[in-house]
Amino acid sequence: RKEVEQDPGPFNVPEGATVAFNCTYSNSASQSFFWYRQDCRKEPKLLMSVYSSGNEDGRFTAQLNRASQYISLLIRDSKLSDSATYLCVVTKNAGNMLTFGGGTRLMVKP
């Protein structure tokens, strides 16, 4: 089983749509969780951290379910500029190396 698993997509959605991505992780001792965004041939950039209580940043909402080892990202009112690959990232309990999922590609169309 992959350490961090994501549906690769692509998710093709119209502007203004709401889209949700899911991610599962295998290490139950993982301590910190993040969503990063990666544009084509660019570096990963932190989108948001994910907390057990759930957290929201503008149009973006992240949820963590530790019991199911499941992380989600919801994007409301999609913009063309949201087109990117969204990376689910966890840290192992042994240290602070980041473990990346393969990413979910989002394409927002006009």
Partner 1 sequence: EPEVTQTPSHQVTQMGQEVILRCVPISNHLYFYWYRQILGQKVEFLVSFYNNEISEKSEIFDDQFSVERPDGSNFTLKIRSTKLEDSAMYFCASSEASLSETQYFGPGTRLLVL
Report, in Å, the least distance between residue 72 CB and partner 1.
19
From the list 61, 82, 103, 108, which residue makes contact with partner 1 (rule: CB under 8 A)?
A: 103
Convert 40-66 into a string of H (helix), E (strand) and C (coil). CCCCEEEEEEECCCCEEECCEEEEEEC
Question: Which among 18-26, 57-65, 70-78, 91-99 is the span making contact with partner 1, rule CB under 8 A?
Answer: 91-99
Residue 64: which of 100, 11, 28, 13 has the closest Cα? 28
Residue 27 touches partner 1, criterion: CB under 8 A: no
Binding stretches for partner 1 (CB under 8 A): 31-32, 34, 38, 41-46, 49, 87, 91, 94-103
